[in-house]
Structure 1
Amino acid sequence: MPTSFWRSPELREHINGLDRSGFAVEFLRRNAAYRRDYARLQRRIARRATDAAAERAAFAERWGLCFCPCSG
């Protein structure tokens, strides 16, 4: 992503309006290491090469993630 995009007034306004978790999502979705790690996780789960719940928990711990249960 070009540096000029990061400095655009539209993006600055968007990012300034985010709460903590929203900012974290924006950071992670642009982080190449996170995206590679997530793709690796998905491939391992798809191959059934591992316990999906344990892999997801390890992934979440590695990246400092926490998830709230969804209702409905």
Structure 2
Amino acid sequence: MPTPLWRSPELRDHISRLDRSGFAVEFLRRNTTYRRDYARLQRRVGRRGVDSADECAAFSQRWGLCFCPCTR
């Protein structure tokens, strides 16, 4: 998301009402590195040649998540 949009009054109001985990979700969904890594995880798990539980655990640990995004 371009920087000026982060400064819009509407978004600033929305973000100010978020709790810590809500802010983290907003940050990650806008983070291109996270999105690229998540897409890579989906491809690897989709191939079924890897242990999806191990892949998800490594992904979660890398990003400091307390849930496995593969099971959602």
- 4+ residue stretches of structure 1 with deviation over 4 A? none
Show structure 2 runs of 5+ residues with no match: 68-72
Identical aligned pairs, as a percentage? Answer: 76
| Higher helix content, 1 or 2 | 2
Deviations 1:9-53 (A, max 9, x none): 100000000000000000000001100100000000001121001
1:43 match:
43
TM-score, structure 1 length as denominator?
A: 0.88
Residue identity opposite 2:27 in structure 1: F
Cα displacement (A) at 1:2: 2.5
Separation in 2, partners of 1:41, 1:2: 26
TM-score, structure 2 length as denominator?
A: 0.88
1:1-72 matches, cutoff 5 A: 1-67=1-67
Separation in 1, partners of 2:51, 2:7: 42
Higher relative contact order (CA 8 A, sep 6+): 2
